[in-house]
C-alpha cells in the first residue's frame, strides 16, 4: 500500500477501498505516515467527500484504533446525548441525572471548551472534589451506582481521532462534514452507549451557521449511528440567541441546578425535556414523564448521586467572581437581538474559555443576561452582568459586545427552540 496512491484516489474523486482506509488510519495513528501526507488526504476529503460506505469504514477504523466499551453488564438501558456546541449550553448537566432518575444509564464522555463554546468538564470541575478522569472499572461502578457518569475521554477512546482532530485544526479542514461526523461518532460509539440523541446547533453562536449544512451533518451522524448499531436521533436547535441566562463555568452549574430543582429559564427547561424525551423513547422508557422528576425531587437526588460518585460535594458553595460589571439596556422596548456569538466571545475573553487546548480557564468568569429575545426592557436597566477576576480582561469583553444587543419598539417573538428532527 502506498499513501500517495491513497491521496491520488481521493484527489481524483475515486472511492477509497476498505483496505486503503484501514491501512491509512492504522499507519497514521501509529506514526508511520507523516502529517503532510495525511493533510493532503484530509484536504482531498474536504473537497471530494466520503460516500456512506467509505465513511462507515473510516469511522469503524477510528474506533478500532482503541477499544469499544462493553456496557452489556449493566441492568439498565444505555443512552447518551451530544451537543455540537453553543453558548450557555449546560444541558448535559441536567439531562444526565434526569435520565438516570428515569431508569436509564448515561455513559457520557464529555469535553472541554474551546473558543466561545463552553465545555462540560470545565463546568463540572468547578464543584469541589469532583473528578473528571475515571478508569473503565470506575466508570462501570459509577454507572451501576448512580446511573450516570460524566467522564473525560481516556487514551484508548478512538485515539486516531486525537491525531486527526489536531491536524484538521491547523490545515483548514475542520469544516468537512464527513470528518466532523466521524470525529464525533467514533468517540460516542466507542464509549459503548446503545442509543444516542444529537443536539445539532444552528445559528450565529454555533459551529454550523446554516440550517442546510446542519441538517446534512445531522443526517450523516444519524446514518453513522445506524451503521454501527447505535440507535440515533438528532434535533436541530437554534443558537442565534444564547441558551438560558448564563455563560461561564460555575455560573452554568448554578443554573443547571436551578432547573433540576424545578425552576430555571424556560428555554433551558424546554430543550432539556425535548432531548430527555427523545432519549427515553429510544430506550423504551417513554412511559416516564421527565417533567415530573424535576418537580418531585428525584432529578435533584440523581444529581447529588452523580456528583458524589465522582468525588464531588453537591452541597458545597461554588466559586464566584470578585468583580461584576453591569451593561445596561440601550432603549425601552422589546429585546429583539442578543447575539450568541458576541456573548460567547465576551465570556471567553473574560476567562471562561480557552484559545488553545492547554490553556487554563477561570471557574468564575462569564456573562449573565437578565433578559432574552422577546422580553420587555427599560432603558438603563441592568441587561448584562460581566463576571471577572482580572480587570484587564474587561475592555476586550466589552468590545465583543458592541452591536450584540438591539431593542425594538414593537413586540418580537423569541425564536423556536427546535428547528427540526432527523431519525
Q: Which residues are catalytic?
A: 82, 161, 168, 183, 187
Strands of 178-261, DSSP E: 195-202, 231-238, 246-248
Q: Rounded distance, CA 397 to CA 380, Å?
A: 20
C-alpha cell at 73: 453488564
Bridge partners (DSSP) of residue 407 are 335
> Pick from 85, 80, 77: which is nearest to 113 by CA?
85
Q: Which of the 8 DSSP states describes residue 30? A: T
Half-sphere exposure of 130 (CA within 13 A, CB side): 27
Residue 84 near residue 56, CB atoms below 8 Å: no
Q: Give dist(CA 85, CA 242) in Å, integer.
A: 11
Please report where in the chains the cell 448564563 appears, as a residue.
246
Residue 409: CB partners within 8 Å, gap ≥ 6? 333, 334
Distance, in Å, from the CA atom of 87 to the CA atom of 178, rounded to the nearest integer, reads 24
End-to-end CA distance of the chain: give it in Å, rounded: 38
Phi-psi region of 310 (alpha: psi -120 to 50; beta: other; left: phi over 0): alpha
Contact 199, 238 (CB under 8 A): no
Mention every residue, 6+ apart, whose C-beta is less than 8 A from residue 141.
Answer: none
* Strands in 84-230 per DSSP E: 106-110, 148-152, 195-202
Which residue has 466561545 as its cell numbers? 116
Amino acid at each position: 500500500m502506498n499513501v500517495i496512491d491513497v491521496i491520488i484516489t481521493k484527489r481524483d474523486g475515486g472511492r477509497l477501498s476498505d483496505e486503503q482506509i484501514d491501512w491509512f488510519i492504522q499507519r497514521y495513528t501509529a506514526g508511520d505516515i507523516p502529517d503532510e501526507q495525511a493533510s493532503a488526504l484530509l484536504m482531498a476529503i474536504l473537497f471530494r467527500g466520503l460516500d456512506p460506505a467509505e465513511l462507515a469504514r473510516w469511522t469503524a477504523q477510528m474506533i478500532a484504533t482503541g477499544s469499544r466499551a462493553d456496557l452489556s453488564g449493566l441492568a439498565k438501558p444505555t443512552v447518551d446525548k451530544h451537543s455540537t456546541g453553543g453558548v450557555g449550553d449546560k444541558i448535559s448537566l441536567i439531562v444526565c441525572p434526569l435520565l438516570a432518575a428515569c431508569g436509564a444509564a448515561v455513559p457520557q464522555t464529555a469535553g472541554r471548551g474551546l473558543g466561545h463554546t463552553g465545555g462540560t468538564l470545565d463546568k463540572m470541575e468547578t464543584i469541589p472534589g469532583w473528578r473528571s478522569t475515571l478508569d473503565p472499572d470506575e466508570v462501570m461502578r459509577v454507572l451501576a451506582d448512580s446511573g450516570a457518569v460524566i467522564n473525560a475521554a481516556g487514551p484508548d477512546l478512538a485515539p486516531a481521532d486525537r491525531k486527526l482532530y489536531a491536524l484538521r485544526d491547523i490545515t483548514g479542514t475542520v469544516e468537512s462534514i464527513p470528518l466532523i461526523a466521524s470525529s464525533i461518532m467514533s468517540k460516542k460509539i466507542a464509549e459503548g452507549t446503545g442509543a444516542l440523541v444529537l443536539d445539532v446547533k444552528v445559528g450565529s453562536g454555533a459551529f454550523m451557521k446554516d440550517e442546510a449544512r446542519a441538517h446534512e451533518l445531522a443526517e450523516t451522524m444519524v446514518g453513522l449511528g445506524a451503521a454501527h448499531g447505535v440507535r440515533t436521533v438528532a434535533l436541530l436547535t437554534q443558537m442565534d440567541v444564547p441558551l438560558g441566562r448564563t455563560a461561564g463555568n460555575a455560573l452554568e452549574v448554578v443554573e443547571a441546578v436551578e432547573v433540576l430543582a424545578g425552576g430555571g429559564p424556560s428555554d433551558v427547561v424546554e430543550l432539556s425535556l425535548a432531548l430527555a424525551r427523545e432519549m427515553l423513547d429510544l430506550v423504551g422508557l417513554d412511559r416516564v414523564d421527565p417533567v415530573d422528576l424535576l418537580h418531585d425531587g428525584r432529578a435533584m437526588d440523581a444529581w447529588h448521586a452523580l456528583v458524589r460518585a465522582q468525588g464531588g460535594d453537591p452541597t458545597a458553595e461554588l466559586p464566584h467572581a470578585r468583580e461584576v460589571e453591569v451593561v445596561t439596556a440601550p432603549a425601552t422596548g422589546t429585546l429583539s437581538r442578543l447575539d450568541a456569538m458576541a456573548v460567547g466571545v465576551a465570556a471567553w475573553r473574560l476567562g471562561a474559555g480557552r484559545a488553545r487546548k492547554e490553556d487554563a480557564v477561570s471557574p468564575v468568569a462569564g456573562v449573565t443576561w437578565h433578559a432574552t429575545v422577546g422580553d420587555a426592557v427599560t432603558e438603563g436597566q441592568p441587561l448584562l452582568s460581566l463576571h471577572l477576576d482580572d480587570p484587564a480582561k474587561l475592555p476586550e469583553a466589552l468590545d465583543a459586545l458592541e452591536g450584540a444587543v438591539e431593542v425594538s419598539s414593537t413586540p418580537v417573538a423569541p425564536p423556536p427552540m427546535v428547528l427540526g428532527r432527523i431519525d
